[in-house]
Amino acid sequence: MKKPDESSFIERFSKKLEIAGNYSEVWRIVKETVEFSLSKRNRSMMLFLDDLPIQLGAYHPIGTNNIVLNRTLVDIVDASLNSKPTVNALIYNLLLHEYLHALGEYSEGEVRRQVAVVAEKCFGKDHEATMIARKTPWVLLGKIPLEGINVPKRVMQIVTDFEETGKYIV
């Protein structure tokens, strides 16, 4: 049986990320790419959106199955760049980073390294997701004037249907 070549995986993952329409679809890509590249997977996760300081992309509270994503950061990049593939690449990187923490890697340096490894293996060295992984998500803010941005704090929001468990959660 012929083994699929690496370029077919890169093409498939790239297309999926480009057309992803919501957090759940990007999340499925995160899980698929981690399983493909690192042979790791974790229990179900929950996603919360919150207005965090711009320097913080997301966080995973240790001992939980939660990821809290910086809604303000995503909104700023979305409004400024108006590019769904770029926003998807940003969200992918932030979720991947926190997922690796949830998988038990607590070293920031090691997680950053693994994010770049996963992105390059799954999207290729020239893909935007890989560039963001290598340079950090804040590379997208380079041309965005952040002075004077004052976003009012909104209520933290849970992303419903983030994880399709197929089970009732009690």
* Closest C-alpha to 169, from 65, 95, 57: 65
In tens, the pLDDT along 32-91 reads 999 999 999 887 899 999 999 888 999 999 999 999 999 999 999 998 888 999 999 999
Residue 13 lies in a domain: yes
Instruction: Provide the 10 A C-beta neighbour count for residue 2.
Output: 4
* Closest C-alpha to 105, from 29, 26, 32, 38: 38
Domain that holds residue 46: 6-158
Spatial separation of the C-alpha atoms in residues 167 and 89, rounded to whole Å: 29
Secondary structure (3-state) at 13: helix
Spatial separation of the C-alpha atoms in residues 110 and 96, rounded to whole Å: 13
How many structural domains does the chain have?
1
pTM of the model: 0.90
Q: What is the largest CA-CA distance in the chain?
A: 59
Residue 117 lies in a domain: yes
What mean pLDDT do residues 139-168 have? Answer: 78
Residue 1 lies in a domain: no
Residue 81 lies in a domain: yes
Spatial separation of the C-alpha atoms in residues 166 and 160, rounded to whole Å: 14
In tens, the pLDDT along 93-142 reads 999 999 999 999 999 999 999 999 999 999 999 999 999 999 999 888 88
Residue 43 lies in a domain: yes
Residue 40 DSSP one-character state: -
Residue 86 lies in a domain: yes
Give the per-residue pLDDT at 2. 41
